[in-house]
Structure 1
Amino acid sequence: MSEVEGIGPHALPGLREKVERIIEEARRQGASASEVSVSMEQGLSTTVRQREVETVEFNRDQGFGITLYVGQSKGTASTTGSGDDAIRETVAAALAIARHASEDEFAGLADATLMARELPDLDLYHPWAVTPEQAIEQALSCEDAAFAFDQRIRNADGTTLNTHQGCRAYGNSNGFIGGYCSSRHSLSCVMIAESEGQMQRDYFYDVNRIGEALLDPQTIGRRAAERAVRRLGARPVPTCEVPVLFAPELATGLFGHFIAAISGGNLYRKASYLEDALGQTLFPEWLSLDERPHIPRALGSASYDGDGLATYAKPFVENGRLLSYVLSTYSGRKLGMPSTANAGGVHNLFVSHGEEDQAALIRRMGRGLLVTELMGQGLNLVTGDYSRGAGGYWVENGEIQFPVQEVTIAGNLRDMFRQIVAVGCDVETRGNVRTGSVLVERMMVAGK
C-alpha cells in the first residue's frame, strides 16, 4: 500500500501542530500540566482459506489521547475527532475527571530537564505498495505451496497478509514534542495435516518493517506444511523430570515473563516474585540481558519512551546479576528510583547466546523434551510458579524420536532461569525479544 494523503513523514508537522494546539487549549482551560498523544494509521489485511478469498479489510484510524493534571490529580480522555469542538470537549472532559480524581503524590510529568532533546532517525517507515489483488495473489501462492508440499496436507486454517503504516506524535507541557512514522508487514500461514485419523495443525510466518524483505510466500507455505506434517503421530509421554529445550519463538516468552517481573508496575503493587531482587544473581554468570533501542528498522526500536525521555542502551542483567528494574517516571517515583526511560516497555531486548545451534543443543540435552508449542496462561507472577500445556518432540540419545502432545511442563521461573544450561545461536528476530533456543536443565513434564 503506497503512502496516501495524511499518512507519512509529510504528516508529522501537522501532528506536532495538533499536539501543541491541544496543550495550549488545556492550558487555557486551567490544566496545570498536560500530555497528548496523536496517532494516524492505515492498513490492509487479506486472508485466504482453501484457495478462496475469505476477507479483504482496509482500516484507517486516527486518535487523540489527552491526559491532564490539576496539581497531583490526573484525568484522561480520548477522541477520534480533530475539529476544534471535539478537542475543546475532550480537554474539558479530561479536566473534569482530573478535578474529581484523588490526588496522587507520584503523578505528573517527568522533569523538564530529562526530556529527550535529540531524536535519531531509526528508519522505521517503509510503506509497501501492495494492492489488494497482489496481496490476494501472494496469500494464494503461499497456501498453494503448502498444499503442494505433502499429500497429507488436507486443509488450511488461513493464510493472512497484513500491511500497516502509521504516524505518531507525543508532546507535553514540559516542552517535549516528538513524532515518528513506522511500518509493519507480515505474512502467516496455518495448515492442517491429516493421516490415519489424526489431524495436526501448525504454522509459519514472517514479519518485517520492509514488505519486500519478507520471506517469499512459497517458503512460508512450505515451512508451515512441513511443521504440520512433522506433528503427525504426536502422543503424550509418561510423567518425568527431564531437560527441556524451548524453541526460540517460545523462549522469547520466558524472557517476556522476566521483564514483567522486574517492571515497576508489578513491583510497586507487590505482584512480582522478584520484589527486592535488585543486585541478586538470577541467571548463570555467563548470561546477560540488555536493551538496544536504536537499531535501525528493528521491530522494537524507539527514540523516546512514553514519558518523552530519550531511550538508551543499557543492561538489565549482567553476568547473571540483576542490575536494573524496568521503570517509567511514575513507577520509578513509587519505588524511589529514577526512570529507566521504559514507559511503555522495553525496546529490543537481547539475550546473550553461545555458538551452538538447535541441533547441537538437542545433542547436548541427550534425553528430554523440545518444546515448540505452548498453551494456556499458567503463570503466577507473584510466586513465579509456571505451568503450561505443551507440545513438541521427544529426544533420546541426542536425536528427535517422535512428536509429543497433551503434556504439561511445570517449574518455578526463579529455578528455571538459574538452571539455563545454554542459549542457542538460532536467534529469533521477528519480535522485540532476541534469543535463541533455551535449554533448561530440569523441569517436570506431566503426561499420561
Structure 2
Amino acid sequence: MSGAVPSPAEIAEALLAAARSAGAEAADAVVIEERSSGIDVRAGKLEEAGRSESMQLGLRVFMGQRSAIASASDSRPDGFSGLAERAVAMASEAPEDPYAGLAGPDELSAARDAAGLDLDDPTEEPEPAALEDWARAMEGAATAASGIAQAEASASWGRSTLHLAASNGFSGGWSSTMSSLSCTAIGGEGLGMERDYDYDVRTHLGDLRGAEEIGARAAERALARLGPRKPPTGKATVLYDERVAGSLIGHLLQAINGAAIARGASWARGLMGEAVLPEGLDLLEEPHRPRVPGSRRFDAEGLPTADRALVEKGLLQSWLLDLSNARKLGLSSSANASRSARSGPSPSAHNLRLTPGSATREELLADMGTGLWVTSLIGATINPNTGDYSRGASGFWVENGEIAYPVSECTIAGSLPDMLRRIIPANDGREHTGRVIPSLMIERMSIAGA
C-alpha cells in the first residue's frame, strides 16, 4: 500500500490479501470514502453547520458455501488482519447457502470505472459561506411571500468514492459528487398552519436551479395548501403529481424484485410476460445516463450493466436480480446488485424511464373533470402478496377541470396490479433525475374523506 493516506482501491486490495491470509477461500471487499458539508438556516438564523468525513470498509468472505460479512470504519492497515479473521470465524459457523458465491471471471464487466458518465464534478468544494448564502437566499425568498410565517432551508455538497475488489479478479470503482438545495415554507397561523417544499439535487453544482426560485416555489406551494378540507368519499379520478408519482413505480419495482420473487412474497410472481402496465408503455432501465446519480458501468458484484426494458409495451420482461437470487430462480443475474459496506448484495433498480404521455399535467387536470390531485403521500399499507393499496394523501380537489380547494386527511385505496394497468402518464418527467416518471392519472380510485 503506497502513500501516507491509502486510496479506497489500495484498501480494498489490502483487505483481500488479509482475507486470503486468514484462510478465506474467496472474498470481496467494498470501500466507500465520503466527504460532505451542509448548512441549515431557520427563522433567519444559522441553525446548523456541519462537515463530515468517513470511510466504510466491508469484507465478505467465503468458506465453501458458507459466507459472512465484517465491516469497519477504521482504515488503518494494522486492523485489517483482525477484521479478516473475524469474518472467517463467522463464516465458519454460518449455515451453508448453495446459492452463495462470486461471479465467474467470464461474467465480469470489462469496464472498471465510470468513464463517460460525468458523475464527478471537477468544481471545487463550495466554501461554507457560499452554502450559507444559498440557504439564506432560499429562506429569504420564501419569507418574502405574504402569509409565510417561517421557512427553513438547507444547502449541501458531498463527494463519494467507491471501490469494489474481489478474488475473482475484479477491481473497479468511481467517484461521484452531489449538490442539493432544499427549502420548506410554513404558511398560516396556529392550527391552520400548512407546509410545503421545493428542492433540487444534482451531480454538478452548476446545474442547480437558483436558490431564490426554490424558496419562492416552496412558499407558493405552502400558501396554496391553506384552508384544506376533506374531499367527498367515493370513486373518483386521482392524479399523482410528478413529485409523488414515482412511488407507484416504486411499488412495482418492489413486486418484481428477485428477492421477493424467490420468497414467493409478491403479487407479481406469476406475471412474467403478462400485462403490468397499459399497452404501449415501456419501463426502461438506463444505467449509463450521464450526470445522473444512479448511473454505473457495473453493479455491486462486478457484472456489466446495460440498457434494457423491464416492461415493454405493457408486458413484464424481467425481474431485478443479483447473483444469489438469480441462482435461486434458475436464471442469470440482471446486474442489479447493490450493497453497502455492512451488508451483502441485494437487487435494486438503476435509473428508470417510463414512457411519457402527450399531455401536460395541466391538460390532464382539465381532462379529469372532477377528482383529486395528490401532491403529498403519508404512510402506506400495502399487502405485498395481494397488492392491496391504501395511503394517506393530501393535495387539491378538482371540479370541472379546475382546482376547487386544498385537501388533507384523506385516504386513497385500490388494487396495485389494477391501478398500474390503468395509469395515464403526463409528459412532465424531470430528465436529470434517476427516475424519469411523469405525473400519473388513474380513474375510478376509492377516496375516503368527509
**TM-score, normalised via structure 2 length:** 0.94
Q: 1:333 aligns to what?
A: 327
1:365 aligns with 2:368: yes
Q: 1:121 aligns to what?
A: 116
Cα distance in 2 for residues equivalent to 1:299 and 1:378 = 29
Q: 1:134 aligns to what?
A: 130
2:224 to 220, 230, 234: 230
Cα distance in 2 for residues equivalent to 1:289 and 1:132 = 40
1:36 to 4, 15, 29: 29
Contact 2:14 2:80 in 1 (8 A): no
One-letter code aligned to 2:118: D
One-letter code aligned to 1:217: A
Q: 1:283 aligns to what?
A: 277
1:218 aligns with 2:221: no
1:335 positional shift: 1.0
Aligned residues: 436
1:87 aligns with 2:90: no
Q: 1:315 aligns to what?
A: 309
Residue deviations 1:79-138 (CA, integer Å, cap 9, x gap):
122223211000001100100001100001112210111243311011553111111111
1:77 aligns with 2:70: yes
Q: 1:101 aligns to what?
A: 94
Q: CA RMSD in A?
A: 1.6
1:144 to 119, 140, 143: 140
- Identity %, equivalent residues: 38
Residue deviations 1:207-231 (CA, integer Å, cap 9, x gap):
1001121111100000000000000
Residue deviations 1:290-346 (CA, integer Å, cap 9, x gap):
101001111211111111101100000000000111100111011111000001211
One-letter code aligned to 2:445: M
One-letter code aligned to 1:441: E
Cα distance in 1 for residues equivalent to 2:262 and 2:226 = 47
Q: 1:251 aligns to what?
A: 245
1:166 aligns with 2:163: no
Cα distance in 1 for residues equivalent to 2:251 and 2:272 = 16
1:18 to 11, 36, 54: 11
Cα distance in 1 for residues equivalent to 2:48 and 2:441 = 40
Cα distance in 2 for residues equivalent to 1:11 and 1:240 = 67
1:401 positional shift: 1.1
Cα distance in 1 for residues equivalent to 2:355 and 2:390 = 25
Q: Give 3-state SS (helix, strand or coil) of 1:141's partner.
A: helix
One-letter code aligned to 2:372: L
Cα distance in 1 for residues equivalent to 2:324 and 2:156 = 35
Q: 2:415 aligns to what?
A: 412
Cα distance in 1 for residues equivalent to 2:7 and 2:127 = 27
Residue deviations 1:33-90 (CA, integer Å, cap 9, x gap):
1010001110001101000000001110001100000000001101122223211000
Q: Give 3-state SS (helix, strand or coil) of 1:327's partner.
A: coil
Contact 1:67 1:77 in 2 (8 A): yes
Q: 2:56 aligns to what?
A: 63
Q: Give 3-state SS (helix, strand or coil) of 2:7's partner.
A: helix
Q: Give 3-state SS (helix, strand or coil) of 1:401's partner.
A: strand
1:254 positional shift: 0.8
Q: 2:149 aligns to what?
A: 154
Q: Say if 1:430 and 1:50 are closer, same or farther in 2 by CA, change over 3 A.
A: farther
Cα distance in 2 for residues equivalent to 1:13 and 1:242 = 60
Contact 2:322 2:334 in 1 (8 A): yes
1:17 positional shift: 2.4
1:386 positional shift: 1.0
1:348 positional shift: 0.8
One-letter code aligned to 1:249: R
Cα distance in 1 for residues equivalent to 2:86 and 2:13 = 18
Structure 1 unmatched ranges of 5 or more: 1-9
Contact 1:48 1:139 in 2 (8 A): yes
1:351 positional shift: 0.3
* Pairs within 5 Å for 1:359-398: 359-398=362-401
